[in-house]
Every structure is written in C-alpha cells, then in structure tokens.
Amino acid sequence: MEVMMEYIVFDLEFNQGFNKKTNKTFSDNACPFEIIQLGAVKLDSNFNIIAAFDTFIKPCLYTSMHPYVAKITGICMEDLENAPTFKEAFKKFTEFVASDDPIFCVWGKSDLRELYRNIKYHNLPDLSLPKSYIDVQYYASDFINHTTAQSIGLENAVIALNLEDTVAYHNALNDAYYTAKVFASINPKAIKPNIYIYTNLSDSSSFGLDPLDEDVFLKECDDFSKVLNRNLSKDEKKILSMVQFIKNNVSDEEILRRRSLKKRLKRHKKRDR
C-alpha cells in the first residue's frame, strides 16, 4: 500500500534592525532576522497544491522597516500593525502543518534555521514540527546545472524549467508557490528527505568572516548603499557577509575552520610587524 505523503513548502520574509536616527543597520545576535511574513502551500503525494497558508507577523524586536527589506518585499509597517504576533501565527502554522507525517520543503536551509531561531527566541515548543525536510534549491541546482556546488536562485530555476511566472517574488506565499512548482518539476519521487537538526553555532560564528563570494558581496553592499544613500559601516558589511554563510548552508565545521584560519593569519601578521 502506497504511503500518502504530504509536503509543506514554506517561505519566510524577514526584517532587520534599522536605526532611523543614525541611518544604520543593527542586529540582535539572538534573532538578527525577525520573521514578518510566513507563507506555505501543502502538497499531496502527487505534488498537487491542496491548501495554502499566509500571514503577516507583527514584529516585537525590530519595530521599523529596514529600507532595503521594504524595497525588495513591498512590506510596510502598516501591513504589520494589526497582524498576529509570532506566537499566534506559529500556532496557526502548526495547525496547518498537522498531518500524519509531513515533510518540510524549503528553498535553501536558511529558512528552516530562521524559523527555529525565531521559535527559540520566543521560547515556544517545536516538537510539533516535521523533522524531515527537503532542500529544493539543492536538488534543483543539481537537476538544472548538474552541480550542487553553485546554488541556483528561485527565479532562475523557474525560468530554466519554463514554469509560469505570473506573481511577484520576495513574497512568502508566492515564493512558496514557486518552490512547490519547481519541486514538482525535478523528479521529486526520487528525492529522499533528510533530518533537520537545529544549531545556532553558524549564526554567531560566521560574523566577521570574509564573504564567501566577493562579487556577490560587493553587489549587495552597493545595493544597500544606494537604498540608504551612504556608505555601509563595518558592522553592516559583516552582517551582509554573515548572510552569505546562512543562505549557502555552510556547515559549522567549515565556519570553524575559516575562523581558525583567520586567527592564524592575524597571529602571523602580528609577528611580522
């Protein structure tokens, strides 16, 4: 008898700290990326969309929109004022997720990490969440580019697979919908889920490391600078570099290796002086 699987494809939009008086980005290490929108679609065992979930979330940590986040998402504080709190939204989400043995599907593990980090920040239980997950971006990169070494973006994957492209990106529900469509197009029955174990080591340990991709990093710095109409501070650049490690699912072992190497280089420089 065939097991009737259900897949929960979800996506998040985040806000970051921004001080309007100083015109600077800031970050709380306990939760540098606060979830402000959670969107999801539920798929049956034939990968058909059978339900959808979408909610804004009223922030409690960063109570003004970061200009860059507002620009790329179109979300403003007025959209969030009467939204449910994270606790309320999370309760509704767990009710939406509930089924016999659901599997999470995400575009890169960073959304899983940020979901768990926000859960921990609000001291909420996570036992009701699925432990099995599929990183759709990883398998789409292999299917389309025949390599997992270079991650493909969601929009590029949609274009490469000739999927219908009718709604805006950088909206949690829309991006969940696109992720589901990509997933259904890359031989999903051959994909076996992994088990997700949350750790926050990477979140703090990658702060201050050199960026993974210098070209992407410089472009993001330039984009931020244009929105803020000023040069970025050293801490803001460190945050952008840290985001690269989170988005690319860099392992804790690799982060610790890079940090150890950086410390050794510093010691050598001191000796040479």
Helices (H), the chain: 67-73, 77-80, 86-97, 110-121, 136-145, 154-160, 172-184, 201-205, 214-228, 234-247, 252-272
Q: Contact at 8 Å (CB) between 115 and 164? A: no
Distances from the Cα of 222 to the Cα of 13, 23, 27, 215, 231, angstroms: 21, 16, 20, 11, 8
User: C-alpha 48: how far from its chain's center?
Assistant: 24
**Across 35-41, average pLDDT:** 98
Fold of 7-195: Nucleotidyltransferase; domain 5 (3.30.420)
What is the model's pLDDT at position 200?
A: 63
Q: If we measure between CA atoms, which residue out of 119, 137, 130 comes closest to residue 182?
A: 137
Decide: helix, strand or coil at residue 171. coil
pLDDT bucket at 268, cuts 50 / 70 / 90: low
Decide which of 172 and 258 is more confident: 172
1, pLDDT greater than 60: no
Reported pTM:
0.79
pLDDT tens for 241-257 read 777 776 666 666 777 77
Most confident range (mean pLDDT) of 105-114, 236-245, 260-269 is 105-114
End-to-end CA distance of the chain: 72
User: C-alpha 197: how far from its chain's center?
Assistant: 16
pLDDT tens for 199-227 read 765 455 566 667 777 777 788 878 878 87
As annotated, the residues of the chain forming the CATH 3.30.420.10 domain(s) are 7-195
Most confident range (mean pLDDT) of 146-155, 176-185, 222-231 is 176-185
